[in-house]
Amino acid sequence: MSDPESRVQVPGLTMCAREDFEVARRRVTPHLHRTPLLSLRTLGARIGTEVWLKCENFQKTGSFKVRGALNAVASLGASELSRGVITISAGNHAQAVAWAARSSHTRSVVVMPEGAARIKVEATRGYGAEVVLHGNAMEAFAEARRRADDEGLVFLHPFDAPEVIAGHGSTGLEIAEDVDGPATIVVPIGGGGQIAGIAGALAATGRLGTGHARWRVFGVEPSGAAAMRRSLDEGAAARLDIVDTIADGLAAPMAGQLNYRYVADFVEDVVIVSDEEILSAMRLLITRAKLVVEPSGAAAVAAIMHGRIPVSAGERVVAVVTGGNVDDQVLVRALREGASWP
């Protein structure tokens, strides 16, 4: 993690200032849940730390994504809202944009990969969006851009946009208020919007630093979709040729350019977990914490369970449980195949 004062600006994209995070929070808070921070003593006692879960699976639409989507839609002017919006998503951002657009009385079109989870497709339609199933993730991105141009719709990027990042910063600000003192926050990464928001908001409010008692942020990706880890290794936002993971919410085929800069500047490290470890974490959360979560929602817990995050005795660790929109077959698979822990 580099010094916050040495931030590098990305041409055409602007990093959020403290005011941006504060405005976004004021904008979204009245419409969303203040999700709970719950302890997971089963895991904490085993590794000698305090483990807390930021339960975004209880958020409206079932995931954290609504924070960024709502701020992005609410940032549009009347003429833009009259045109309608379009986005691309495997599911959680799709539902979030559909919900936010309906709340703003504007049309929404969502392009989803043909392999998107049925439960997420149905929920997106239920929130009022027109759903277009098209190709794989990269092909769906191209189709969304094409339709935006052809139909005059406003394209909302699912993660690589300042308004989305600012909205996700509200999660970090809530954690900072609810945790008694500095903590290590572990955040799953798809394209990087949420970790950019959390780390960016903590940095903008002066909580990230170089002292002994400080906040830290770690990212976690599945081994079959580790675009941000590759980006850090190569020194630039990277794109993947193949994505293969059970965690569809973390299956973005690229890291956002702006998101990459936030991670490079403010995040301690990005670690990798396997699908098998994610299934094990899902099983632990279901059986011991009584939480129904999707694979992406269990990734941070998987990283803590399997020793990917360096922590000291007595340290506070917060795992962001990003969502609970899980397909029933995946839920059954987690209970059947997820390894018991420890």
How far apart (Å, rounded) are the C-alpha atoms in residues 185 and 13? 26
Average pLDDT of the segment spanning 324-337:
94
- Average pLDDT rounded to a whole number, residues 27-56: 96
pTM: 0.94
Average pLDDT over the chain reads: 93
CB atoms within 10 A of CB 106: 20
The C-alpha angle with vertex 312 and arms to 310 and 317, in degrees rounded to 5, equals: 75
Q: Is the torsion defined by CA of 291, 295, 299, 302 positive or negative?
A: positive
Strand order in 216-222's β-sheet?
37-39, 50-55, 316-321, 184-188, 216-222, 269-273
Cα separation, 198 vs 191, whole angstroms: 14
Question: Which domains occur in the chain, in start order?
Answer: 4-63+161-337 (3.40.50.1100), 65-155 (3.40.50.1100)
pLDDT at 213: 60
**pLDDT tens figures, 189-218:** 999 999 999 999 999 998 886 555 689 999
pLDDT in tens, 226-277: 999 999 999 999 999 999 999 999 999 999 999 999 999 999 999 999 999 9
Average pLDDT over residues 274-281: 98
Dist. CA 53–CA 76, nearest whole Å: 33
